[in-house]
Amino acid sequence: MEARTVLRFSFLFLSISLVLLFTFVHLPYAPPRMTDLLDCATNSPWCTSKNRIQTKQTNLLKEPPNRKRHHNHASDTPHHPLDPLTIQELKKVRSILSSHELFASSSYSLHSIDLEEPEKPLVLKWKKGDPLLPRKASVVARVRGKSHVLTVDLGTGQVVVRETGLHSGYPTMTMEDMTLSPFAPLANADFNRTIVQRGIDLADLACLPISTGWYGKSEENRRLIKVQCYSMEGTANFYMRPIEGLTVLVDLDTKQVVEISDKGREIPIPKAANTDYRYSVQELHQAMNPPNPISIEQPKGPSFTIEDEHLVKWANWEFHLKPDARAGVIVSRARVLDPDTGKLRDVMYKGFTSELFVPYMDPTDAWYFKTYMDAGEYGFGLQAMPLEPLNDCPRNAHYMDGVFAAGDGTPYVRSNMICVFESYAGDIGWRHSESPITGMDIREVRPKVTLVVRMVASVANYDYIVDWEFQTDGLIRVKVGLSGILMVKGTSYNHINQIPNQENLYGTLLSENVIGVMHDHYITFYLDMDIDGSDNSFVNVNIKRQQTSSGESPRKSYLKAVRNVAKTEKDAQIKLKLYDPSEFHVINPSKKTRVGNPVGYKVVPGGTAASLLDLEDHPQKRGAFTNNQIWVTPYNQSEQWAGGLFVYQSHGEDTLATWSDRDRPIENKDIVLWYTLGFHHIPCQEDFPIMPTVSSSFDLKPVNFFESNPILRFPPNVEKDLPVCKPAASV
C-alpha cells in the first residue's frame, strides 16, 4: 500500500512538473517578429486572464467563430495627442527601459505601460494639422520588491522616476501574475493530496486567482493572492462545481504556497447536470417558441465615421475613443454641434470607468476576502474579451482593437475589444399629435436613433457590458449590464426543508448543493465635465415642498426648486434620497442663454444601490468611494482612480473619499464629477446556470445648454428611404 502511494505521488509530481514546464515555455510573450504579434484569437492565455486556469484544454465550441482582424497594427502611428501608444512606441519604451540603470541588473515586471496624456490646456489648444504634442509613456514597474512610477519621453529617451507618496498597496496584477499563480498549488504535496482524497482528477481541475483585499498587518509587506479550485468534469461551467472550503494562500512574487485552509471536506462537489450553458448542448423542447432573427438594415450604410482610428463623428457628436488596460474604454473631448451656430461645443473632456467594487456578503473563512476591485486589481480592460459579431454587436458595427503591453513590455493585440454601432429600438425622439377638438390634423414624430460604444469585460465568472450611448438631443447615457455566471458556494443541502431555521446561508439555494451568495456591484465613473469650457460649478437643485399661506390658493402645497452652488468639495458629497429629491447640475456660470440661464448639463440617476457595510469594515475603507453616489473634486491629473493608484492590498488611505475630505474650493473651477452606479444582488434560481442580463444606467442631460429643442429640425423617416425586406417564407 505504501509503495502504491509513493508511486501515485511520484506520477503526480512528474505530471505537475510537465505542466509547469509547458506553462513557462508558453508564456504569453510576443515573438520577435512584428507580424507575429499576439492576439486573443491566436494565443489563448491572454484571453484567460482572471477567467480561469485549466490543467487541460477543452474544445468548448464545436465551430470556432469567425473573427475578422482589421489590419496589421505594426504600422499604426498616432494622429491625436490622446491616441494610445502604438506597437512601435511600446517597443521603444521597452528598449529605453532595458538600458536604464533601474532595470539593468535585476529582474523586473512592468505592470502597465500607457500614454501619459499631455497637460489638459495643451490638448484643448491643439487642432488637427498642428504638430503632435510630445509623446510620453507612464510606466508602473516592480523592481526588487518595490513599486515605481516612471515617465518615459519617447522623443528624447529620458526616463524620470516619479514620487508616488507613502501609500500602501501594489499595482494592478500583470497577466503573468494571473496566469501563473493558480499553478502554484500544484507544486504542493498537501494540496495534491487533498484533491485526490476528494476524488478529483487533477486533469479536471480549474483554479482562480482571487485578490485578497486587506485585513491587517499579517498581510503586509508581501504580495499575496488566494487560489480556489473547481471541478470541470462533465461541464464547461466549472463555476457551478466548487471545491468548497479549500483555499490556498500564495506569494505572488515567489509563486510559493504560504498556507492551505481545508475546511470543507464534508461538503460535496455539486453535480454537473444542467450546468452547461452552451447552445450546442441544450435539449430543445417543443414548448420553446423563440423569436425570429432580427436585423437593422442601413441601405445607405452607417452614418458615423471613425477618422484616424480613434476620432468618432456621428450626427451632431464628435469624440475621441480609445481602449485602456485599466479603465476599459475612455471617451475624451466629447463635443456636440449647436444647431443655431453650427459650432461644436464642449461637453466632457474625459469619461471612463474608474473603479469597480464587488463585496460578497459571506463572512466565513473561504469567502470573507472576496471584495474585488476589478479595475485596480485585475485591469478592467485587460479582462475585455473579443466581441461576437451579430450577437454582441449588430451587423454594421465597427470594431476597435486594444494594444497593450505584457509584463516584460512586449506589445500584444486584444482584437475586437470595442464596437461602435447605431441603434434603433423603435423609440421616439419626440412627438405630438394634435387633438381633434382643435381642428388641426397634425401628427409629428421623430424616431430616436442613437450611437453606442460598447465593451464587455469578462471578469472571471461575471460579464460586465458597458455602453456609452450618444443621443442626437445632446444626452449621453452610460449603461452597465451584468450577465455571466454566479460565484457560488458548495453546500450539503439539496432542499430548503433541510436547512435549520437559524442558519444563515448568506445567499439562496439555487440547485442541489449550490448556494448563490449575496453580493453588491458598484461601478464608479470619472466624468471630467467641461461645459462650454473648463471652469464650471456644481449646483444642487433641491426640490422642496412649499406650503401656501392662508387664502393664497385653493392648493395647500406645491414644489419649488432651491439652487445651492457648491463652494467646496464637502458641499458636493451627495447621497441620493427618494424623499429629499434634487437635480444635480454642472453649469458654466460665465456662459448664458439668450434669456439668461447658465448653460449646463445634469446627471440623472437611474436605478441604483448604496453600500450598507460598516464604514469601519476593511473592505468599505478600501471602497470608501462608494460612501456617496456623487462627488465633485477639482481637476487633478493624478486623481483619476477612485480606489487609488495602487489598489491591490491597499488600506484605503488614497481614495476618492480621502481626496474629497480635503474640502478644496470647486466653485467656478475645472471640476470632475464622479458617479457610482450600484446593484444589490440576491441570487435567484433564474440566475442558474447563467444569468439573464440586468442593467442600470445614468444620464448626462443638457439643461439650458441649447436655446431650444436641438433636434427640432431633424427629419422624420419616409418610406422611400427604408428598404422593404420580405420574410423568407414569402420568397
Does residue 497 contact residue 663 with C-beta atoms inside 8 Å? no
pLDDT bin (cut points 50, 70, 90) of residue 66 is: very low
The reported pLDDT for the residue numbered 728 is 61
Mean pLDDT within 458-477:
97
pLDDT bin (cut points 50, 70, 90) of residue 28 is: very low
Tell me what the pLDDT averaged over the chain comes to: 89
Task: Given the residues 204, 374, 473, 532, select the one marked as catalytic.
Answer: 374
Does residue 117 contact residue 82 with C-beta atoms inside 8 Å? yes
CA–CA separation, 114 vs 70, rounded Å? Answer: 22
Per the model's pLDDT, the better-predicted residue between 60 and 402 turns out to be 402
Closest by Cα among 525, 673, 532 to 600: 532
CA–CA separation, 166 vs 654, rounded Å? Answer: 10
Alpha-carbon torsion 392, 393, 395, 398, what sign?
A: negative
Does residue 566 contact residue 666 with C-beta atoms inside 8 Å? yes
DSSP states along 381-413: TTTBPPP-BTTTB-TT-EEEEEEEE-TTS-EEE
- Hey, what domains does the chain have and what are their CATH numbers? 2-35+47-68+177-281 (3.10.450.40)
Q: Can you name the residues that pair with 522 across neighbouring β-strands? A: 357, 678
Mean pLDDT within 141-154:
95
Does residue 112 contact residue 376 with C-beta atoms inside 8 Å? no
153-162, 285-294, 372-381, 574-583: least confidently modelled range = 285-294
Mean pLDDT within 364-392:
96
Alpha-carbon torsion 299, 300, 306, 312, what sign?
A: negative
Grid coordinates representing 580 are 429629499
Q: Over 535-585, what HEC string results?
A: EEEEEEEEEEEEECCCCCCCCCEEEEEEEEECCEHHHHCECCCCCCCEEEE
The reported pLDDT for the residue numbered 221 is 85
Q: Is 374 an active-site residue?
A: yes
336-354 pLDDT tens trace: 999 999 999 999 999 999 9
Q: Is 462 an active-site residue?
A: yes
Grid coordinates representing 448 are 430616436
Q: Looking at the predicted structure, is the pLDDT value of residue 137 above 60?
A: yes
53-62, 397-406, 474-483, 685-694: least confidently modelled range = 53-62
76-90, 164-178, 503-517, 577-591: least confidently modelled range = 164-178
Q: Looking at the predicted structure, is the pLDDT value of residue 206 above 50?
A: yes
Task: Given the residues 108, 462, 522, 601, select the one marked as catalytic.
Answer: 462
79 CB-near residues (< 8 Å, 6+ apart): 132, 308, 309, 310, 311
Mean pLDDT within 648-674:
97
Q: Looking at the predicted structure, is the pLDDT value of residue 42 above 60?
A: no
Task: Classify residue 499 as exposed, middle or buried by CB count within 10 Å of its CB (0-12, 13-18, 19+).
Answer: middle
The reported pLDDT for the residue numbered 711 is 95
Q: Can you name the residues that pair with 675 across neighbouring β-strands? A: 525, 630
Q: Supply the pTM of this predicted model.
A: 0.91
| Residue matched to cell numbers 463585496 | 359
Residue type, 595: V
CA–CA separation, 709 vs 593, rounded Å? Answer: 13
